[in-house]
Structure 1
């Protein structure tokens, strides 16, 4: 009986994890009608007619290197009339090829317009705004070439710091490389469970 309960709990935990992943990253994790999990690009739905053309998959941008993401960040910062050298890297060169970023302290009154200018230039460079966000004024996330880039401002109330005055805030860009299609997901049959109500 203990082995059966253990299998039930493992199955429930796996289902919960996959369901949360499908909500957080709907463009990377899909669950089909049969309950099978697919990682990577969305699955093409079978057409009703054999002669009907199969829809083309959505074009994806080529994979970017960390150096290319760093260059995109510096270009966007310059487009906002800021000097990249006045800020600092959140991941020094050579520390991690899958993570990068830039941050600077700005006057709160100017931070919002600078962030909008940065976001406009990222979109000009081909970065795609995350459709799951509603274009929040305090944070926006983008994706391109296997990278996710979060641009946000945070005040002293969200990140207490002795270095920030009440009129200052942080403007931060955080880049993270994710490739969920390379993560193997073992096929695990779920046990059949029958509940009887008395």
Structure 2
């Protein structure tokens, strides 16, 4: 039984690592229709339908405080008061993570998300498309200065269903500082069954 549990935990850990890598570096992780995961630069020409990540201009690393200010600026640009929401990571608790969330009406959340994204792009954040997860109306990924920022309106999956009415959703910005670009990924193909 212990050998079986060990295989299960190893499989779960591998799945988690591949999933995180696919979100953070979508240009380095491809998951085929047959379940094969390819790590490293694409061996063939990427699909024309998948948007290519935009190259990030050289910018100095950002601090958590600078990312918090970028989030607050984008929220204000969308016509919202940052105090209407709440920080998802308390100040000073983790220098590599930050975020903001607010309960919004679904009818307004998508246009507010678009306004937030437009302001992030104005601030120099570069679109970091995730072909397996981003959609123009539900979530968009950005990168800048060693940080990755996900803007999302996926409400019911982020909170217990009893906190939101049917007309509400969470408007969320989640920031994570990762510096994985210095770690070369070998070209490896794994079959997940």
Whether the TM-score (by the shorter chain) exceeds 0.5 is: yes
Output the CA distance in 2 between the equivalents of 1:100 and 1:90.
Answer: 7
Question: Residues 130-154 of structure 1: CA distance to partner in whole angstroms, max 9, x if unpaired?
Answer: 1344653100000000000000012
Output the CA distance in 1 between the equivalents of 2:137 and 2:171.
Answer: 12
Question: Residues 1-60 of structure 1: CA distance to partner in whole angstroms, max 9, x if unpaired?
Answer: xxxxxxxxxxxx9xx88x958x72255674599xxxxxxxxxxxxxxxxxxxxxxx9742
Q: Equivalent residue for 1:48?
A: none
What SS does the aligned partner of 1:162 have? Answer: helix
In angstroms, what is the RMSD of aligned CA positions? Answer: 3.2
Superposition deviation, residue 88 in structure 1: 0.1
Output the CA distance in 2 between the equivalents of 1:91 and 1:170.
Answer: 16
**TM-score when scaled to structure 2?**
0.65
Q: Equivalent residue for 1:62?
A: 60
Q: Which of 133-142 and 92-101 deviates more?
A: 133-142
Q: Equivalent residue for 2:165?
A: 165
Q: Equivalent residue for 1:141?
A: 141
What SS does the aligned partner of 2:71 have? Answer: helix
Q: Which of 162-171 and 85-94 deviates more?
A: 162-171
- 1:183–1:139 CA distance, 2 compared to 1 (3 A): same
The number of residues matched between the two structures is 148
What SS does the aligned partner of 2:129 have? Answer: coil
Any unmatched runs of 5+ in structure 1? 1-12, 34-56, 188-198
Q: Equivalent residue for 1:121?
A: 119
Output the CA distance in 1 between the equivalents of 2:56 and 2:88.
Answer: 32
Output the CA distance in 2 between the equivalents of 1:155 and 1:130.
Answer: 22
Any unmatched runs of 5+ in structure 2? 1-10, 29-38, 44-54, 187-193
**Aligned partners of 1:112 and 1:137 also within 8 Å:** yes
Larger CA Rg, structure 1 vs 2: 1
Q: Which of 106-115 and 57-66 deviates more?
A: 57-66
Output the CA distance in 1 between the equivalents of 2:162 and 2:144.
Answer: 35
Output the CA distance in 2 between the equivalents of 1:32 and 1:112.
Answer: 33
- 1:181–1:142 CA distance, 2 compared to 1 (3 A): closer
